Amino acid sequence: MQLGFIGVGNIGTPMCRHLIEAGHTVLAYDVSADHLARIVNLGAQAADSPRAVAQACDIIFSSLPGPREIEQVALGEDGIIEAARPGLIYVDLSTNAPATAQEVCAALAEQGVIMLDAPVSGGVIGAERGTLAVMVGGDLKTFETCKPLLEHIGANVFHVGDIGSGCVAKLINNMLAFINTAAASEGMALGTKAGVDPHKLYDIVQASSGASWAMNQFPNKVFHGDFTPGFTIDLAYKDLRLALEMGDQLSVPLLMGSICINLMRQLRANGAGGDDMSSLARVVEDAIDWQIRAPQNM
Ligand code: NAD
């Protein structure tokens, strides 16, 4: 079976690598020549367009920034649709708007292509380790066909429901992760400014009822003042914006999410959109002129 992979950035690269290491031949495409060269070094072959990938492959994966790029890759000039044929499967691993996933799926379906939306969670570290959660929307039979491949990428592969439902689950998950990160930052700033050792406070919270996945970012990132991505604030902002749009469409108030998107807006306005999502802590730090650092481990 010939596989394709479009978009080999921070998280696409390790996901694609797992497919190569599982023994599959993978034809890759990326607008960035550097990113494409990196995956070729890891054993992929290079294509010069999404159409070329679609022409040669049975199943195409993609990991792209957001709705605009997914539409372009799937339906744009030199896109997958130009080589569409019955039997071709397209699995989008990006975090997309549910409505865009549905629109792209419908357009491809007219040409016989079946699309699944299959966003992932667990970060670049989870992708490196192959432990991601994968949440899939779309045709159940096609899901069963793709599941063994997705199990190379993730440790927990879920079928959520119809096309777009994977993205719904993912946007809810990310909204919670961002809100938890902002809340953990406030707690850590207050506790450390009150004189408690950062590592001790971290250990206590993670063993207590305030524990969260978001806290995991402190020892490796915030304590060291290391805000290199990982997962950028720009991408997190895109996800939270999509979640708030869903809230708007369904008349669901999202008070915590609204606060959190304003913290991200502040970072982006200060030129930190390309920094890691853990830099939400810096908004709290800057407000009180205090840094949550643990220099003994630096
Ligand atoms: P990234 O920006 O590092 O990677 C995106 C890749 O897509 C880049 O290599 C870019 O050159 C390429 N690209 C952009 N436009 C393209 C086009 N038109 N055609 C082909 N390639 C194109 O982003 P990332 O962090 O790897 O995230 C990718 C997706 O995964 C996003 O939707 C993100 O929300 C999601 N995600 C990321 C993480 C994470 O921790 N990084 C975690 C979960 C989900």
Structure tokens at 85: 């044929």
pLDDT on residue 298: 45
Residue nearest to atom 25 of ligand 1 (CA): 10
**Phi, psi angles (nearest 5°) of residue 168:** -60, -50
144-189 pLDDT tens trace = 999 999 999 999 999 999 999 999 999 999 999 999 999 999 999 9
d(CA 167, CA 105): 13
Structure token pair of residue 11:
């998280």
For 286, the 3-state DSSP assignment is helix
User: Which run of H or E residues covers position 160?
Assistant: strand 154-161
pLDDT for the residue 28: 99
Distance 161 CA to ligand 1 centre (A): 24
- pTM comes to 0.96
> Which one of 147, 170, 221, 238 is the catalytic residue?
170
Q: How much distance in Å is there from the Cα of 8 to the middle of ligand 1? A: 7
pLDDT at 129 (0 to 100): 97
Q: Within the chain, which residues score under 50 in pLDDT? A: 298
Q: Separation of 234 CA from ligand 1 center, angstroms? A: 11
Minimum CA distance residue for ligand 1 atom 18: 69
Which ligand 1 atom is the nearest neighbour of the CA of 69? 18
**Under a CB-based contact definition with an 8 Å cutoff, are residues 161 and 137 in contact?**
yes
- The full set of domains in the chain, from first to last, is 2-162 (3.40.50.720), 168-288 (1.10.1040.10)
Q: How far is the CA of 10 from the centre of ligand 1 (A)?
A: 7
170 is catalytic: yes
With a Cβ cut-off of 6 Å, ligand 1 is lined by 6-12, 29-32, 35, 63-66, 69, 72-73, 94-95, 120-121, 123-124, 230-231, 235, 239
Q: Rounded to a whole number, what is the largest CA-CA distance in the chain?
A: 64
Give residue-wise pLDDT tens across range 241-278: 999 999 999 999 999 999 999 999 999 999 999 999 99
Atom of ligand 1 nearest to the CA of 12: 26
- Listed in sequence order, the residues at least 6 apart from 63 whose beta carbon sits closer than 8 Å to its beta carbon are 5, 6, 7, 8, 9, 11, 12, 15, 16, 93, 94
Helix orientation angle between 98-109 and 165-193, rounded to the nearest 10 degrees: 160
The alpha carbon dihedral of 152, 154, 158, 163 has a sign of: negative
Which among 29, 35, 63 is the best mutation to test ligand 1's pocket, defined by most ligand atoms within 8 Å of the CB?
A: 63
